[in-house]
Structure 1
Amino acid sequence: MSRVTIADVARAAEVSTATVSNALNGTGRLTASTRARVRAVAASLGYGGPTASRTLALTVTTYGHRRWDFADVPFFAQAIAAATAAAHKRGYALTALPSAPDDSMWSTLPVAGVLVLDSPGEDPVVRILRARGLPLAFDGHPTEPRPGEVYVDNDHRATTHEVLDHFAAQGSDRVALIAGVADDHYTRTCVAAYREWCAGRGIPPRVLPMAVGDEDGRTYDAVLSGADRPNAIYGLYDPCGRRVLASAARCGLSVPADLLLVCASEDPSYATGTPTAPAVSTVSLDPRRTATTAVTALIDLIEHPQQEPASVTVPARLHIRASSLGERASASRT
C-alpha cells in the first residue's frame, strides 16, 4: 500500500482533497480536464488507481484500534456475505478490511466509498474517511450522522422493550441486561431503553458486563448464585446465550424453570438446543437485509451525489423459544 496520501495528491494537483476524491471515484461535478489531470497526478505519485471507482470497502470499527476477529461472529459473517453480493449485483467489488488497520491504510485506500459497521463515538476511522471526502454509509446509527451520509439501523429501543415485555409476561420481576463496553449506538440505545423500562416498573436495573475472553461465562457465577439473582437475562451479543447457560449449569439453575434467557444472535445453533440445554430465544437484527440496504444506499450516493439520501430502519425479529418460556419465573426465587 502506497504511503502517498490524498492530501499529497491535492497539494501536487493544487486542488482540494474532495476534488481528488471525486476525480478518482468518478463522482462530483468536475470538468473532464480537471478529472484527467488529477488522475494523472495521482498515478504519477503512486496513489489510487483506475479500479477505485468500482471498489467499495467494508470496515467494522466497534472497538477502535483493538484487533479482534469480527468475521467469526455470525452477525458480521452474514453482513459481509450480503454486502459483497449486493456490491457485485451493481458491478462493484467489495473488500472487507481487518479490524484496527494502520491509519495510513485509510488515508490511501483507493475506493469509491466505504460501508462502516457499528461505528463508535468519535470514530477515528470515520474522521479520516470524512476528511478524504469519501461517500459513507453506516450499518448501525453513527453517533453524529452528517448531511450527505446514509445509515441503516434497527429500532433498538422498541426491540429492547419487546424482549423485556416478553419476560414480564412470563412472570419475571428481576431482569438483568448483559451489555459491553463499546460506545456504539446499539449498546447505548439498548442500555437506555432497559433503564427506561425498569424505571417505569419500579424495578432496579442490573447491567452485567460482557467480559472479553470469558468464554465460559464465569463472570456471571457470582451473580447467578447470589440471593438476589436475576430470573431473566437479555444478552445483547452473540456469545451471551452460551455463557449464561454455562454459568447457570455451574450454579445449579435450570433454564427456563429458574432463569429465562434471550440473546441477540444470528447463530442458527441456538434454535436447535441440546439434550442438556433448551433452544435459546434470540433477537435477529437481520444483518443480511441491513447490509444489502446499506450497500445499495452507498452506491446510490456514489452514482447520484446530487440526491439527498434517506436513512432506513429495518425491523428486528424476536424468535421465542424454550429458554424464555415457562411458568412464572418470579416463583423460582430460592
Structure 2
Amino acid sequence: MNSPKLPSPPSSDHEPEGGLEGGRKRATINDIARLAGVSKKTVSRVINQSPFVRDETRERIEAVIAEWGYAPDPQARGLAFRRSFLIGMIYDNPNPQYVVNMQLGLLDGMRGSGFELVVHPCNRASPTFLADVRTFVERQKLYGVVLPPSVSEDERVAKLLNEIGCAYIRIASVELDKPEHMIVGHDRMGGAQAARHILDLGHRRIAFISGPATFRSSHERRGGFEAALAERGLTLQPSDIIQGAYTFESGVACGDELLARTPRPTAIFAGNDEMAAGVLQSARKAGLSVPADLTVVGFDDFQIAQAVWPPLTTIHTPTREIGRMAAEKLIDAERRERREERDPARTEPTLVVRQSSGPAPVV
C-alpha cells in the first residue's frame, strides 16, 4: 500500500492554519491532525509516545510531523496540562556517586520524552524539611517526583505528595508503598551474597561496618549479612559491628578501630564502597596486605570500586538502571506493568569478585 502524498511544508505563499512565527505561519497540532486525517487526541498520544496507537497510524502522523517540522510548544503543553514538564529528584544522600548515577539513570529514562530533570538536595533533619519539599514541588509545578533513599523512606514525604496531588516514585531497599509507587532494590539479598562469599573463602573472624541508622538500606544490608552467617552457624557479636556514615572518612575511622583490635578481623564487609575504600587505607596504614592479611568487601559497585588498589570485591547494585526505570514508570504508567513483568530481576544486586577478597590467612 502506497503512503499518502504529503503536502509541502508551509512557506510564505502557502500558509496552513496556525500561529505566527517569525512573520510566517507555522503548523499547529490541529494542522497535523487535519493533514494526517486523525483526531487531535491521537496526535497528542503519538507525541507523548503512548503505546495505544496503531503502527500504521503512528507512522503516518510521524511522517506529517517530520514533513512540516512541527514541534509542540512546551509552555503551551504545560498550560494545557496545568503543570510543567519537569520531574523532580529530591535527595539527602552523603554519597555523591550515588546521586550522580541516579541522575544519569533518570535522564536515560526521560530521553526523548520532552521532560526535564530538576534536582533538589535537602536535609531531612532540618525543621523546614517538609515545608521546603512542598515549596519546591508547588513552585516548579512538577509533573512528578522521584525519591531515592533516604528521602524515600520518610513516610511524611509520601503523605505530603499525596495531599498535594503530585505523582511520585519511591526507590528503597524494601516495599514501602503500593507497587505503582515503588522501585525495590533488594539490599538484603546483597548483604547475604557478601556473607556467603566471605564464608566460602574460609573466614570466621568477620566484622561489619554499617551505614547510618537513618537509612533503611543500612538495616537491610546488615540483616541479609547476619542471616547468611547464621545459615552457617556464625553469629556477629555486638563488638563486631561498627557504624559508619557511608563516607570514605568514616570508613577510615572504623577500619582503624577494627584493625587495632586483638585478635583483629580477617574480613570486613563495609556497607558501601566509599567506606570499603576507607578500610583499604586503614589496612595500608597498619602495614597489612589486602587480601593476604585482610579481605575487604564493599557494596554498590560504584566507580570508586575499580579506582582503588586493590580493586574492590563488591555487591553491584544497578543504580543507573533503577533510575531509568523510575523515570519511565513515572512518565509512562500505561506501559509500566508489561515492562516490569518482562524482566523482574533487573533491580537485584549481584556479587562482583575482584582482588580485595581472598582466602582466610592461616593462623
Normalized against structure 2, the TM-score is what? Answer: 0.65
Which range moves more in the overlay, 286-295 or 208-217? Answer: 208-217
Contact 1:143 1:185 in 2 (8 A): no
Provide the rounded CA distance (Å) in 2 between the counterparts of 1:85 and 1:57: 15
Q: 1:304 & 1:214 partners in 2: Cα distance?
A: 40
2:323 to 291, 301, 308: 291
The residue type paired with residue 202 of structure 1 is G
Matched, 1:90 2:122: no
**Whole-angstrom distance in 2 between the partners of 1:141 and 1:132:** 26
1:5 counterpart residue number: none
Work out the CA distance in 1 between the residues paired with 2:310 and 2:84.
Answer: 49
Q: 1:318 aligned to 2:348?
A: no
1:108 aligns with 2:138: yes
Contact 2:247/2:274 (CA < 8 Å) preserved in 1? Answer: no
Question: Which residue is equivalent to 1:202?
Answer: 233
Q: Which amino acid aligns with 2:210?
A: A
How big is the alpha-carbon RMSD for the aligned residues of Structure 1 and Structure 2?
3.1
Distance 1:219 1:208 in 2: 7
| Equivalent residue in structure 2 for 1:172, among 203, 219, 233 | 203
Deviation at 1:289? 0.8
The 1-side partners of 2:361 and 2:235 are apart by 15
Q: Closer, same or farther in 2 for the Cα pair 1:105/1:49, shift >3 Å? A: farther
Q: Which amino acid aligns with 1:286?
A: P
1:331 equivalent in alignment to 2:354: no
Change (3 A) 1:272 1:222: closer
Q: In the alignment, residue 184 of structure 1 is paired with which amino acid?
A: F
Q: Contact 2:86/2:117 (CA < 8 Å) preserved in 1?
A: yes
Report matched runs for 1:20-99 at 5 Å.
52-61=83-92, 70=95, 73-99=96-122
The answer to whether residue 268 in structure 2 is matched with residue 233 in structure 1 is: yes
Decide whether aligned partners of structure 1 residues 112 and 308 sit closer, same or farther in structure 2, where only a CA change above 3 A counts: farther
Cα pair 2:193 2:350 within 8 Å, conserved: no
Shift of residue 261, structure 1, vs aligned partner: 0.8
Cα deviation, 1:146-166, whole Å, max 9, x if unaligned, reads 36x332223322222222111
Compared CA separation, residues 197 and 269, structure 1 to 2 (3 A): closer
CA distance in 2, matches of 1:143, 1:283: 20
Deviation per residue, 1:283-318 (Å, 9 max, x gap): 2211111110111111123x689x899695512232
Q: Structure 2: how far apart are the matches of 1:254 and 1:125?
A: 46
TM-score norm. by structure 1 comes to 0.70
Q: Contact conserved, 1:161 with 1:194, CA < 8 A, in 2?
A: yes
Deviation at 1:138, TM superposition (A): 1.8
Residue matched to 1:221: 256
1:31 match: none
The 1:183/1:173 distance shift into structure 2, 3 A limit, reads same
1:125-144 counterparts in 2 under 5 A? 125-141=157-173, 144=176
Task: Select 2:293's aligned residue among 251, 258, 266.
Answer: 258
| 2-structure distance, mates of 1:308, 1:106 | 32
Q: Which residue of the partner structure matches residue 161 of structure 1?
A: 192
Q: Which amino acid aligns with 1:243?
A: G
Aligned residue type for 2:100: A
Distance 1:146 1:210 in 2: 31
Matched letter for residue 249 of structure 1: R
Instruction: Encode CA deviations 1:223-272: one digit per residue, 9 max, x unaligned.
Output: 11211322111112231122101111222221101110111234334325
Q: 1:91 to 1:120 in 2, by over 3 A?
A: closer
Moved more, 152-161 or 288-297: 152-161
Instruction: Indicate conservation of the 8 Å contact 1:120/1:143, yes or no.
Output: no
1:201 Cα deviation (Å)? 2.7
Whole-angstrom distance in 2 between the partners of 1:85 and 1:171: 41
- Does the 8 Å CA contact 1:87/1:93 hold for their aligned counterparts? yes
2:224 to 193, 217, 225: 193
Q: Deviations over 1:13-35 (max 9, x none)?
A: xxxxxxxxxxxxxxxxxxxxxxx
**Contact 1:59–1:98 (CA<8 Å) still a contact in 2?**
yes
Alpha carbons of 1:120 and 1:55: their partners in 2 closer, same or farther (altered >3 Å)?
A: closer
* Secondary structure at the counterpart of residue 324 of structure 1: coil
What are the ranges of 5 or more consecutive residues in structure 1 without an aligned counterpart? 1-47, 63-67
